Amino acid sequence: MKKNKISKNWIRRQKKDIYVRQSKIEGYRSRAVYKLIEIDEKFKIFNNTKSIIDLGAAPGSWSQYIVKKNKKSEVLAIDLLNFEKIDKVNHLVGDFTKTENQEKIKSFFNKKVDVVISDMAVNTTGNKNLDSIVTGELCIDAMEFAYQNLDRKGKFVSKIFMGSSFNEIVADAKKKFKEVNIFKPLSSRKDSKESFIICKFLR
Ligand SMILES: C[S@@+](CC[C@H](N)C(=O)[O-])C[C@H]1O[C@@H](n2cnc3c(N)ncnc32)[C@H](O)[C@@H]1O
């Protein structure tokens, strides 16, 4: 399919999408927020949490939700892209996979944190297998970082694609965390290979 045909289809789909309309009404920057809300309702991620790292945060709807839910939480949001500031959210622009940026995140908190969430995904190439491999690598990096930096009772949530690295990621998660669940929110598009891995309590 030609590129401008894909973008016309995308615009048509956005206009029809109830989550897009709802996000505009509620003042969220992206429909992605409803995935996090569903995850939070089912797995109670943000009850009594104070320190949260949001990886791949732009345009910022997940961070908006966190500070709305818990006004006292300390949030650090990182993305490759610069995005409009959110009140009470600390921003970092850069590549999360770079050691220097991971060091900046660690020194910002200077202690173990309560929650690490990652919605990181690369720009889709149209090749679903390639997209799932690259996004799988981001999930692996995020999980290792979470494992090193979470409190023992900490929680890790990440986008994961159903693809060649899926089983390996789940097996690794089970070695690192006591509770591991895979969940596809209703608000995640049915034709997308996206799901979420929800991990709790370090081993
Ligand atoms: C689906 S969007 C996130 C949406 C966000 N959760 C929200 O609620 O607004 C995925 C983001 O991951 C970011 N991303 C991809 N690779 C990254 C990396 N290596 N480091 C930081 N951010 C990255 C992209 O720039 C993109 O903004």
d(CA 158, CA 60) in angstroms, rounded, equals 15
C-beta 78 within 6 A of ligand 1: yes
Name the region of 44 (left: φ>0; alpha: ψ -120 to 50; beta: rest).
left
Evaluate: CB of 37 within 6 angstroms of ligand 1.
Answer: no
- Identify whether the C-beta of residue 83 lies closer than 8 Å to the C-beta of residue 124: no
Question: Is 72 known to be catalytic?
Answer: no
At residue 128, does pLDDT exceed 80?
A: no
Mutate to test the pocket of ligand 1, among 19, 36, 81, 119 (most ligand atoms within 8 A of CB): 119
Residues 138-169 pLDDT 10s = 999 999 999 999 999 999 999 999 888 999 99
pLDDT value of residue 110: 97
**What mean pLDDT is reported for the chain?**
93
**Can you list the pairs that 134-138 forms with residues at least 24 positions away whose Cβ atoms lie under 8 Å?**
135/159, 135/160, 135/161, 136/160, 136/161, 136/163, 136/164, 136/165, 136/166, 136/169, 137/165, 138/56, 138/96, 138/97
Pairing of strands 194-202, 150-161: antiparallel
Domain 31-202: assigned CATH number:
3.40.50.150
pLDDT band at 192 (very low <50, low <70, confident <90, very high): confident
What was the pLDDT predicted at 180?
Answer: 98
Give me the mean pLDDT over the 59-68 stretch: 98
Tell me how far apart the alpha carbons of residues 89 and 76 are, in angstroms, rounded to a whole number: 6
Which of these is catalytic: 35, 155, 159, 176? 159
Query: CA geometry: angle at 198 spanning 17 and 99, to 5°?
Result: 100
Q: How far is the CA of 193 from the centre of ligand 1 (A)?
A: 17
